[in-house]
Amino acid sequence: MLIEILQQTINGLAIGGVYVLIALGLTTVFGILGIAHFAHGSISMFGGYLTYFLATSQGLPVLAAIPVALLAGFLLGVLVEILAYRPVRNANHINAFIVALGLTMMVEGINLQLFGHEQVVIPTGLTRVFRLGGITVPELRLYVIVAAIVLVVAMMIFVERTKTGQAIRAVAENRDAAILMGVNVRTIPLIVFGMSTALGVAAGIMVGALFAIAPGIGEGLVVKGFAVLILGGLGSFPGAILGGTVLGITESIAAGFISSAYKDVIAFVVMILVLLIRPQGLLGRAP
């Protein structure tokens, strides 16, 4: 029993890591700009597809393709901010909402046209399996967990310890005050979208390597990302980390010990139960 619980926890950690990265990207955009960026999942998938394309059609080693895709993701995020969201920043919230939905459909369509309808798996060649007692950890899952931790720590250091990070937090706290303090609020959204999209691309690469990228997968991922946001607390970085990890492990344990047929349902029931007790989410601030 203990071994099964530990195994299910490790199973859940890898997918939890993906949820954390997606949620961190979403929470950064939402916390600072107040935009529900629904296209985040589809753009993540674009990053996964791009890595696959670079690694297979262009013959780049996967380790070289990943930084190229991350950089492309950052630039794509900047473009999305300039072309899609900046024009509606001062308009009614519903405008940004519609732009987000339209962008989702557009990116899905572009993915379909560029990369086709078939699922693709990023070839990593990592097939070793580590065994400890009765627990098995595939090499690839271990690297995904480690990579997710590294990215989260790097993101936290950037936000907490750098001047740009402080500026981002200042804009999130009080935009007007930030302007008065001399923060360049025109460049902050660019950096936020760039970072957020790069994190999303990292999540897309992980999904593509662990599982597969295919049309429609991004939509499911973004739904989970928003669930994590609500579970952890809107706009809270530690909340996104905790929420993503909890959701991943809950899904795994629910499928293992209750029923695989209701895996998603059980995870969302847990989310609702948490919200009943703490409406602001696990680490969100009470209003």
Partner 1 sequence: MSNHTFTRACAALAITLVAGSSLAAEKKLSVGVADALTGGGAVYGLPQANAVKMAAEEINAAGGIKVGPDVYKIDVIAYDDKANPTEATNAVRKLIDRDGVKYILGFCCSGSTSAVASFIGNEKAVMLVGNAAERSITTKKIPNLVRTRPPADYTGQAAGTFIARKGQKRIAVLGALDVGFYAQYVDSVEREIKKAGGEIIAREVFSLKDRDMTPQLTKIRGLNPDAILVVGYVEPAAFVYRQAVELGMNIPRYGFTSGSEEQFLRVTTSEQMEGVWDLRPTELTLLSASKNGVAYHANYTKKYNASPSPSSPYAYDQLYALKAAIEAAGTVDNTEAVAKALRNLAVPPQVVMQYQPVDGKMFDVNGQAYTSNGAFQWQKGKWVFVEDLPSDSKAYSQFLSTLN
DSSP letter at 116 equals: -
Closest contact distance (angstroms) between CB of 138 and partner 1 is 4
The piece of 11-19, 61-69, 157-165, 197-205 that touches partner 1 (CB under 8 A) is 11-19
Of 162 and 262, nearer to partner 1 (C-beta) is 262
104 is a site residue for partner 1 (CB under 8 A): no
Question: Does the footprint of partner 1 cover residue 221 (CB under 8 A)?
Answer: no
Distance between CA atoms of residues 78 and 260, nearest Å = 40
Q: Residues near 167 by Cβ (< 8 Å), separated by ≥ 6?
A: 178, 183, 184, 188
Can you tell me which of 118, 133, 176, 186 binds partner 1, judged by CB under 8 A?
118
Residue 252 as a binder of partner 1 (CB under 8 A): the answer is: yes
- Residue 211 binds partner 1, judged by CB under 8 A: yes
Determine, following the binding rule CB under 8 A, whether residue 112 of this chain makes contact with partner 1: yes
Among 105, 106, 114, 136, indicate the residue that binds partner 1 (CB under 8 A).
Answer: 136
Cα distance between residue 45 and residue 214, in whole Å: 8
Helices (H) and strands (E) in the chain, counts: 11, 2
Q: Does position 132 bind partner 1 by CB under 8 A?
A: no
Question: In angstroms, how far is the first alpha carbon of the chain from the final one?
Answer: 41
Query: Which positions ≥6 away from 96 have C-beta within 8 Å?
Result: 34, 35, 36, 85, 88, 89
Q: Which residues bind partner 1 (CB under 8 A)?
A: 3-4, 7-8, 11-12, 15, 112, 117-121, 127, 129, 131, 136, 138, 210-212, 214-217, 220, 251-257, 259-261, 263
